[in-house]
Structure 1
Amino acid sequence: MADIFDVIADGTRREILQLLLRRSSETDTGTSVSQIVAALGVSQPTVSKHLKVLREAELVSVREEGQHRFYSLSPEPLEQVDDWLVPFFVEEGDFEDVAAQLEPVQLPEPAARAAEAVGRAAASAKNVVQSALKRLGA
């Protein structure tokens, strides 16, 4: 799978994502390729090429209906971008201030296991990003 930052670096792909985001509140059925072509004013082959990249990055899902394809936004992969950006907008002390104000909560066992799994996944992702940044010399 392509790096999410490479995928969203292209302006046409960002326009497609924004269009799908706007249309997602209007309809649950998805947006056809012809609707995307008309809205963006670019050729059908160009839109199809970009939709393929977005599909491979799992940023869009497709529903086939006969010969027509209807695309919907799948924003979950963008969480990687959000996770990477957050430290640039949040002061380090802010996390401690918020944590100090929170009351301890006892989670039910299934929720505690899920939270632990999420925490491990987040730590693993952090390590992957830090390793990648070190390899890039950042």
Structure 2
Amino acid sequence: MADIFDVIADGTRRDILQLLRERSAAGEQGTSVSQIVQELGVSQPTVSKHLKVLREAHLVSVREDGQHRFYSIVAEPLEQVDDWLVPFLLDESDAAAAVASVGAALPESAARAAEGIGRVAASAKHAVTGALKKLGA
């Protein structure tokens, strides 16, 4: 399997992932190749080539319905990117607190919930910081 960072380094693949994420959030049960082609304005062979790479990296799943294929995002492999990136988004005090809290024993379900909340908080902080920088604040 290709390195996840190599896979998401391509802008077209990131655009496809973003589109699939948005459609999934809107309740779509899959997106056809023709819908991706139409949304992104990229040729069908190009979309198919990128979907193959995403499929091999386990970032998308495919459901076949006759001759049509419907793609959905699989976000779990992106956790590797998240795990690598989050320390860059944390302040020194946040990082120290995170390291200190690792020793605290939590039930597994609580630890998973805390991890999810931490990811969302780091992502939100990054988004707000980026927006403020764009606004010149």
- Does the alignment reach a TM-score above 0.5? yes
Alignment of 1:52-63 (within 5 A): 52-63=52-63
Q: Give SS of 2:29's match.
A: coil
Give deviations 1:87-138, integer Å, cap 9, x for gaps: 111134324436778xx6663xxx48x98xxxxxxxxxxxxxxxxxxxxxxx
Q: Give SS of 2:63's match.
A: strand
Q: Please say if residues 4 and 57 of structure 2, whose CA atoms lie closer than 8 Å, have aligned partners that are also in contact.
A: yes
Q: Give SS of 2:71's match.
A: strand
How large is the Cα RMSD of the aligned pairs? Answer: 2.6
Alignment of 1:112-127 (within 5 A): none
Q: Note closer, same or farther for the CA distance 1:22–1:106 as it changes in structure 2 (3 Å cut).
A: closer
Using the alignment, how far apart are the partners of 1:20 and 1:26 within structure 2? 10
Q: Note closer, same or farther for the CA distance 1:98–1:86 as it changes in structure 2 (3 Å cut).
A: closer
Q: Gaps spanning 5+ residues in structure 1: where?
A: 116-138
Q: Which residue of 1 aligns with 2:122?
A: none
Offset of 1:60 from its aligned partner?
0.5
Q: Please say if residues 87 and 95 of structure 2, whose CA atoms lie closer than 8 Å, have aligned partners that are also in contact.
A: no
Using the alignment, how far apart are the partners of 2:106 and 2:83 within structure 1? 26
Q: Which residue of 1 aligns with 2:41?
A: 41
Q: Gaps spanning 5+ residues in structure 2: where?
A: 113-137
TM-score scaled to structure 1, two decimals?
Answer: 0.70
Q: Note closer, same or farther for the CA distance 1:34–1:90 as it changes in structure 2 (3 Å cut).
A: same
Give deviations 1:6-65, integer Å, cap 9, x for gaps: 000111101100110111122342000000000011111110000000000011010000
Q: Which residue of 1 aligns with 2:12?
A: 12
Larger Rg: 1
TM-score scaled to structure 2, two decimals?
Answer: 0.70
Q: Which residue of 1 aligns with 2:64?
A: 64
Q: Note closer, same or farther for the CA distance 1:99–1:13 as it changes in structure 2 (3 Å cut).
A: closer
Aligned length, in residue pairs: 110
Alignment of 1:56-135 (within 5 A): 56-97=56-97, 107=107, 111=108
Using the alignment, how far apart are the partners of 1:8 and 1:37 within structure 2? 19
The letter of the residue matching 2:41 is G
Using the alignment, how far apart are the partners of 1:55 and 1:45 within structure 2? 15
